[in-house]
Amino acid sequence: MPQRFDAEEVVNQSPPYLDVDLYGSDQPLRDAVVANGGGADTAALAEFGRRWGAAEMFDLGRQANENPPRLRTFDAKGFRLDTVEFHPAYHRLMAESTRAGLHASTWRSDLRPAAAPAQVVRAARFYMAAQIETGHLCPITMTRAAVAALAVEPALAERLMPKILSRDYDPHFLPWWEKTAITLGMGMTEKQGGTDVRTNTSRAERHADHYAITGHKWFMSAPMCDAFLVLAQAQGGLTCFLMPRFAPDGAVNALRFQRLKDKLGNRSNASSEVEFAGAFAWRIGEEGRGVRTIISMVQLTRLDCAIASAGIMRMALAQAIHHARHRTVFQKRLADHALMQGVLADMAIEIEAATALVMRLGRAFDLAANNPREAARARLLTPAVKYWVCKTAPGLVYEAMECLGGNGYVEENLLPRLYREAPVNAIWEGSGNVMCLDVLRALANESEAASAVLDTLAREATDLPGSADAARFVRSALTCADAEKDARAAVGRLAQLAAAAALRESAPVIAELFSRTRLHDCHGALFGTGDFAAGEIARVIDRALPAS
């Protein structure tokens, strides 16, 4: 008899967290969807949650990141290719997300926003997809956001819309009019400035019916998109353009990719450095109004950054709770140790707040077209929500990683990827300070409407512990003469106040706990420092992830 090899028997390890129902197991998400008008889509969201929670989808996410895209600049004979090759898993993820409409379901073919609750329902799907793989969501989010900018050129946009709205995914490198479906990217950042796009040096020379653009972009993600919104200096100043990969005569357009960035995370997504050698482009909007034109797109990508960060945190928390329920230390399951319970509950409350907040913001986008108050809410809160949710993610994912002990630090686990992924949402589409400045800009330029939003939030959160003081601080700090000085503290507080108000609608008990530990008490910098009663802790953790 061969002797049994001891290491074959594995005990006291948690089973894989796979084949999970991402919607059914997420009560905070379900409550937030219903509170914000998406209840009628429950069955479709449940189907999406089961599909994306399948072991196969987790594996696609792994493969797409373990096999990052490769730039093919030239062929064997020295002819330019300027193409990027992706692993089949990336294409599968793109096809899944496109099929579900993540790239366009908030638009109608006439360029008007789809009826409510299109934003909320898409946000729920985007949040679930982000739990599995975020890199491919970059072209998905840019495609849906770009429509907002294209709307100022209806004649061109109407030709593109059928390809944008298509639920196919067509990765072929062909002129857009020969494809069944297209995706759109965006290039604003140059070497000398990303935030300060007015320093863009790319030049646009006017021709009869188009412009020729010469210059570069230092970051231009998803380079296999079919066209890119880019900023360049025309005679009338900084202007927005749409630059297709193929010129209308069918020739490959003059985009010369120099390198792909070697990034900390977001590895399934290609982010290029690119030069334009007189590249063909259509003008989008008037000359000199480039920033104004592209800003409508950026509002939507900022919303998606916050949704994706909330999704990343959700997956990290689910992994942590799952592991803690199966791992025994000192004769007790980790999940039964008071210190661990405090950490898990504190993270769960933070994520539930982030989830309620992004879903409520989605509702503001849903209602904005017909309701000026909701439009003002979306304008003021989008930068605040992006600031707070995206900045919370890295620290929270790190804490969740630690709940898994050494396993959490090991690459076969999902946590290292989530950890590497977490910071980018705070950096791109306007970094932290820039979001704070944008909140101040809204209060300065649209002061009446923005001020009314602060009043509404104070009213909505009324009676929640600490809300009155928080509302007073936010108003005085953000409207004083030297508001920049305290802007980070005040914008973070504004987001927390808005989160309390959102929770009040979707989960009143959690609203109370969140407000007590965040607005009233001084919450420590680390998770696990909130002051909860034992019964509260159990309820919060079970709500976050029911025991299976």
Structural tokens at position 451: 């001020």
When the beta carbons of 383 and 530 are compared against ligand FAD, the nearer one is 383
Q: Angle formed by the axes of helices 487-506 and 372-403, to 10°?
A: 90
Contacts of 356 (CB under 8 A, 6+ apart): 28, 31, 32, 35, 499, 502, 503, 505, 506, 507, 510
> From CA 355, how far away is CA 377, in angstroms rounded?
17
When the beta carbons of 230 and 375 are compared against ligand FAD, the nearer one is 230
Question: Beta strand pairing status for 70-74 and 80-85?
Answer: antiparallel
Question: Taking Cα atoms as reference points, which of 253, 275, 310, 288 lies closest to residue 124?
Answer: 310
Q: How far is CA 105 from the centre of its chain?
A: 16
When the beta carbons of 195 and 462 are compared against ligand FAD, the nearer one is 195
When the beta carbons of 346 and 429 are compared against ligand FAD, the nearer one is 429
Q: Which residues bind ligand FAD (CB under 6 A)?
A: 185-189, 193-196, 219-221, 263, 266, 271, 424, 427-429, 431-434, 437
Question: Taking Cα atoms as reference points, which of 292, 281, 274, 299 lies closest to residue 217?
Answer: 274
Side-chain-side CA neighbours of 393 within 13 Å: the count stands at 34
Task: Tell me the closest approach of the beta carbon of residue 437 to ligand FAD, in angstroms.
Answer: 6
Task: Tell me the closest approach of the beta carbon of residue 227 to ligand FAD, in angstroms.
Answer: 13
When the beta carbons of 24 and 395 are compared against ligand FAD, the nearer one is 395
Task: Tell me the closest approach of the beta carbon of residue 11 to ligand FAD, in angstroms.
Answer: 41
When the beta carbons of 198 and 332 are compared against ligand FAD, the nearer one is 198
- With b for 16 or more beta-carbon neighbours within 10 A and e for fewer, the 61-87 pattern comes to bbbbbebbbebeeeeeeeeeebbbebb
When the beta carbons of 352 and 421 are compared against ligand FAD, the nearer one is 421
The CB-nearest residue to ligand FAD is 194
- With b for 16 or more beta-carbon neighbours within 10 A and e for fewer, the 91-125 pattern comes to ebbbbbbbebbbbbbbbeeebebbebbbbbbbbbb
Q: What angle do CA 505, 509, 513 make, to 5 degrees?
A: 110
Task: Tell me the closest approach of the beta carbon of residue 230 to ligand FAD, in angstroms.
Answer: 8
When the beta carbons of 36 and 141 are compared against ligand FAD, the nearer one is 141
Structural tokens at position 18: 């796979």
Task: Tell me the closest approach of the beta carbon of residue 281 to ligand FAD, in angstroms.
Answer: 15
